Amino acid sequence: MPVAIHPRSLISDLGGLVGEKVLLQGWVHNRRDLGGIQFLLLRDRTGLVQCVFEKTALPLHESCVRLTGKVVTNPKAPGGLEIHADSLEMITQALEPTPLEIPKEEWHANPDTLLEYRYVSVRGRKAQATLHVQAELVRAFRSFLGSQGFTEIFSPKLVAAGAEGGANLFEVDYYGKRAFLAQSPQLYKQIMVGVFERVFEVAPVYRAEHSHTSRHLAEYLSLDVEVGFIEDDGDVMDVQEALAKHMMDHVRQTCQAELEALGASVPDTSVRFPRIPLLEARQLLAERYGHETGGKDLDPEAERLLGRWAEEEHGSAFVFVTHYPQAARPFYTYPIADGLTRGLDLLFRGVEITSGGQRVHEYPVLIEELRKRNMDPEAFRGYLEVFKHGMPPHGGFAIGAERLTALLLGIPNVRFARAFPRDGSRLHP
């Protein structure tokens, strides 16, 4: 039973209250004055309802109000219901007009304006729906892993060295010493495999990305998984696939209203995710689409085309790309013959949403992998120590929560899959 804090009805419950008098609380989402009759579109955490008044002065947008009235069916009203209101009481009056029109929220229009006023634009129906779906994705992530014997961990975000390498570290002054914001809980989740065998973490990570793209944030929510006593990268993919399907199914079951508000659909989860080695993928893209890729990794167009192939040939919105070359993966990735690794990515709708794979679990091999990359083992002493103390074969992956959310919901810019995004040009609100 929900805890009753007021004799208050929620908008989502009105369907069962037709003909009854109700008390509602919420925000003035929109208003229209037709002279003798006024329409107030009321918003609460569960949705929107049209409330009809006679000769009432309506408060400014986003004022907090309490009203009473009768629930009436009206096929022309949004949602098929409206309130014939008889009282309107102010809870907190808005002091000035909103800096943008929340009911018109449109992320293609002017993202900068929307983000500048995010403290109120985040109240828009689409923003709210997006963040709600994300919360449900995370809930499903936790509950699925919990059911599989994983333990949640909490690793430090202030660290002495970067886990992922590269130039995108944020430096902080740590009691007069140089420290960094964690790029990933990579080392810590591996250490904790030595405790719990199976672990996960839900936490922000930091990347001082220098390119301004629609898929990169300076702070993003990393959904990390690590599992011990695996045979190989196939086990890592099995966990990942079952987890992704569970998360999709959960959203399909619990977020119908949000999916509708965003015009989004959840992909078919009945098909097996295809698994294709990177080198084969390259060949396929060249032969099938005439797209040649150089470099160590797939470029965005190659990812898009591979997503198209997975959809056309396998009916799958997801595809694993496996066996990345050593040059394309961090030193902790398990090396195999021919300069390849058991490192892999998962693409969703043609964009990378996770990286992962099997890790090196033997100390001498780690030293060797560092040397191969011209990295100094001394600089990684903190990372290496635990591997002297019996680490099982293990592997894992990290999902970028905002990318997953944006791709699922058809949101063109990952910034709108975060309540308060951080990027090279934005530190507030």
DSSP classification of residue 332: T
Output the six-digit token pair for 23: 């008390």
> E strands of 360-412, at which residues?
394-400
Q: How many CA atoms lie within 13 A of 59 on its CB side?
A: 20
Q: How far apart are CA 428 and CA 118, in angstroms?
A: 9
Phi, psi of 264 (to 5 degrees): -110, 155
CB neighbours of 398 closer than 8 A, spacing ≥ 6?
184, 186, 222, 223, 224, 225, 354, 355, 356
By CB under 6 A, is residue 141 in contact with ligand AMO?
no
How many residues sit close enough to ligand AMO to count as binding (CB under 6 A)?
21
Output the six-digit token pair for 188: 């810590």
By CB under 6 A, is residue 354 in contact with ligand AMO?
yes
By CB under 6 A, is residue 233 in contact with ligand AMO?
no
Nearest approach in angstroms of CB 224 to ligand AMO is: 6
Per CB under 6 A, which region of 53-61, 239-247, 346-354, 360-368 contacts ligand AMO?
346-354
Question: What does the angle CA 151 – CA 152 – CA 156 come to, to the nearest 5 degrees?
Answer: 135
Output the six-digit token pair for 299: 């470029």
Per CB under 6 A, which region of 69-77, 96-104, 299-307, 393-401 contacts ligand AMO?
393-401
Considering only 47, 124, 400, 421, the residue that binds ligand AMO (CB under 6 A) is 400
Output the six-digit token pair for 243: 């987890």
Output the six-digit token pair for 129: 């729906």
By CB under 6 A, is residue 134 in contact with ligand AMO?
no
Per CB under 6 A, which region of 26-34, 234-242, 295-303, 394-402 contacts ligand AMO?
394-402
DSSP classification of residue 272: P
Q: How far apart are CA 301 and CA 178, in angstroms?
A: 38
At residue 116, what is the residue type? E
Output the six-digit token pair for 411: 């949101």
Nearest approach in angstroms of CB 157 to ligand AMO is: 14
By CB under 6 A, is residue 216 in contact with ligand AMO?
yes
Per CB under 6 A, which region of 82-90, 366-374, 385-393, 399-407 contacts ligand AMO?
399-407
Nearest approach in angstroms of CB 82 to ligand AMO is: 42
The alpha-carbon radius of gyration of the chain (Å, integer) is 25
Per CB under 6 A, which region of 120-128, 145-153, 259-267, 354-362 contacts ligand AMO?
354-362
Name residues contacting ligand AMO, limited to 64-123 (CB under 6 A).
none
Phi, psi of 31 (to 5 degrees): -150, 150
Pick between residue 88 and residue 145 the one whose CB is nearest to ligand AMO: 145
Q: How far apart are CA 391 and CA 356, in angstroms?
A: 18
Per CB under 6 A, which region of 141-149, 169-177, 267-275, 349-357 contacts ligand AMO?
349-357
Considering only 30, 184, 240, 341, the residue that binds ligand AMO (CB under 6 A) is 184
Considering only 22, 191, 192, 217, the residue that binds ligand AMO (CB under 6 A) is 217
By CB under 6 A, is residue 335 in contact with ligand AMO?
no
- CA nearest neighbour of 74 among 65, 84, 64, 66: 84
By CB under 6 A, is residue 402 in contact with ligand AMO?
yes
Considering only 164, 235, 241, 249, the residue that binds ligand AMO (CB under 6 A) is 164
Residue with tokens 């966990």: 239
Pick between residue 11 and residue 398 the one whose CB is nearest to ligand AMO: 398
Nearest approach in angstroms of CB 359 to ligand AMO is: 8
Per CB under 6 A, which region of 190-198, 259-267, 350-358, 366-374 contacts ligand AMO?
350-358
Q: How many CB atoms lie within 10 A of CB 91?
A: 12
Pick between residue 48 and residue 221 the one whose CB is nearest to ligand AMO: 221
Residues of the shown chain interacting with ligand AMO in the complex, contacts defined by CB under 6 A: 164, 184, 186, 207, 209, 216-217, 220, 222, 352-356, 396-398, 400, 402-403, 414
